[in-house]
Amino acid sequence: MKFIFLDFETYYAKDYTLRKMTPAEYILDPRFETICVAVQIDDGPVELIDGPDFREWISQHDPKECTVVTYNALFDMCILAWHYAFVPARMVDALGMARALLGHKLRGLSLEKVAEHFKLPPKGDAILKVIGLRRADILNQWDLWGQFVEYAKHDVVLLRAIFDKLAPSFPPSEFRIMDLVLRAAVEPMFRIDMIMLTQHLADVRAEKAAVIATTGATAVELRGVSSFVALLEAEGVEIDYKEGKSSPIPALAKTDDFMNSLLEDDNPRVQALACARLGVKSTLEESRAERLLRIAALNWQCYRDGNPRFYSGGTMPIPLRYAGAHTMRLSGEWKINMQNMPRGGKLRKSLVPPPGHKVVVADLGQIEARLTAYICHAETLLKAFQSGNDPYAVLASHIFQRPINREVDIIEGFIGKTGVLGLGFGAGPTKFYSMVVRTARSMGMDMDKLRAIWDMKMAMRTVEIYRTVNLPIMRCWWLLDQVLKLQWSGLNGEVRFGPVVIGHGTVRGPGGLTMRYDVIPDSGPEKKFGYGMRTHKIYGSKFLENIIQFVARIILMNAALRINDRGYRFALQAHDELAFIVPENDVERAMKIIHEEMTRPPSWAPDLPLTASVEYGDSYGDAK
């Protein structure tokens, strides 16, 4: 396999830049121009390929025999595919490698920052001198062209050095997973239902305007922190505060319990203010719909040279960030976060397959609860999963002291389900009370019926019963508290915890993938670590949650690899779901294979009870 290290240098300007555009919009814009490309083949010299010559140069290489390594592959690999119809056998993103291996200790992961970390020569600043300049403009300034050429070549020197330093610590199977993740964007399989999404965008805008109108407050007052606090205080609301960077700040985020409690306030005007604040402040649905429409409307057919690789019109790449979360889970990219599309919503329904295909979605059922029961040896919960009994009904029966049938006892069963899924990681009564209310509202449940049963006293009872019935899980919280003080803090050697090995700031999973923490020494009884630009608290139950999410990610993405090896490449991943685009005449076989691989226990846990639902439909939303 031939290795090609590559870096594109392209035209950019103040109004044409990745700072203001998604990579898809930038790459498929008529203004796009490849100025030059720096390359290195295997251990050969770093060369500079002039922009107009690159098509001929890349055509000399068989993509089936190439591994291409870039820094920020969601940019360079898309250029290769969309402009030059070149998709290599294996794609490697050194940025993704750096994120997985260094994300716990570096505040920034740019090529420049990672080079500084490894004490490599400085990146250089010639790129700053060519803003707004076309290739011809740079060539007319011979000294500037020379500086730019050396800058481009030096980027590949740094890229290669960083790759060589990171590769020995990067598990081989993760290169394959990284490649699968990149292909969801580089070789898009989804399309967008433009008519549906355009109408949905109009509906979202109209609904937001109507909500704002009911309050009598202006959009500016609703957006501002101090002005919104003043509106609440005028209604007699006592403001809750939370810890800020330097001082306490009002708890006005949509994830804050205080903000959600306002939606249930006895004062209808307070409810309306909170609803309007969330509608104005959180424009997620509106902004994502706009962005999806802009990307889908690009000229996806214009670079195909009579041999189209993608379907024309409405094509939708799925950009996912490899190791985007601390637990090594994927996350969203390009400011559209395909992992956060509410079920039953129009955004999901707007994602459709090409003609003659269906969307098949597989979901690992209760994977975190099952892993928690298995690793912590919580026999009561584990036996419910192993026997096929309903663990939600079992917990609800303990809570309400009578047999619960979830088909009849809707509210009671919902509380049991939320308890099984939400109480394994230390949530207390106050947090769990809000969790139940928030989840019920998002599901469109009858809130009056819920309130007839659900109050703080019942939340306290539920938490107490869950912990009593599942005492081994609590014991694991206590055990991990001790591990944090010793092995995790570097005061002892490594220790095994279920399928993982915990060391000084590390959790090494099966296969070698490692979750890393930048341990803050001498942080007292309350352990802390740095990740990215923030300091985080860590304690036993939270540590267990990290470990479970990390192991669940390993199980899910290894299943994706096996399914790919059997002929089906995933097109989208969200939480515990994998989505596939399958020909209509192959759906039955595909669903069988996908179910087999999703429920195949890992070799390190052969008796782990896995379950999965596999469904299909005419859109992502119809399938799940």
**φ, ψ (nearest 5 deg) of residue 132:** 80, 5
Query: What is residue 120's predicted lDDT score, i.e. its pLDDT?
Result: 97
Q: 538: part of which helix (H) or strand (E)?
A: strand 534-538
pLDDT band at 98 (very low <50, low <70, confident <90, very high): very high
Query: What is residue 531's predicted lDDT score, i.e. its pLDDT?
Result: 84
pLDDT at 282 over 70: no
Cα separation of 291 and 287, whole Å? 6
Query: What is residue 279's predicted lDDT score, i.e. its pLDDT?
Result: 75
pLDDT band at 304 (very low <50, low <70, confident <90, very high): very low
Quick: pLDDT tens for 212-257.
787 888 888 888 999 999 999 888 888 888 877 778 899 888 878 7
CA 504, 509, 512, 515: dihedral to nearest 10 degrees? -50
Q: What is the mean pLDDT of the chain?
A: 91
Query: What is residue 204's predicted lDDT score, i.e. its pLDDT?
Result: 82
Query: What is residue 445's predicted lDDT score, i.e. its pLDDT?
Result: 86
527-536: list long-range contacts, CB under 8 Å, 24+ apart.
527/484, 527/485, 527/488, 527/489, 529/104, 529/505, 530/104, 530/105, 531/103, 531/104, 531/326, 532/103, 532/107, 533/107
| Higher pLDDT pick, 273 / 462 | 462
Quick: pLDDT tens for 506-545.
999 999 999 999 999 876 778 889 887 778 899 999 999 9
Query: What is residue 311's predicted lDDT score, i.e. its pLDDT?
Result: 46
Average pLDDT over residues 376-401: 91
Average pLDDT over residues 549-555: 97
Query: What is residue 307's predicted lDDT score, i.e. its pLDDT?
Result: 44
Average pLDDT over residues 589-602: 98
pLDDT band at 306 (very low <50, low <70, confident <90, very high): very low
Query: What is residue 313's predicted lDDT score, i.e. its pLDDT?
Result: 56
pLDDT at 287 over 90: no
pLDDT at 319 over 60: yes
Cα separation of 241 and 252, whole Å? 8
What domains can you pick out in the chain, each with its CATH number?
A: 2-170 (3.30.420.10), 194-287 (1.20.1060), 318-378+473-624 (3.30.70.370)
Which residue type, as a one-letter code, is found at position 46?
V
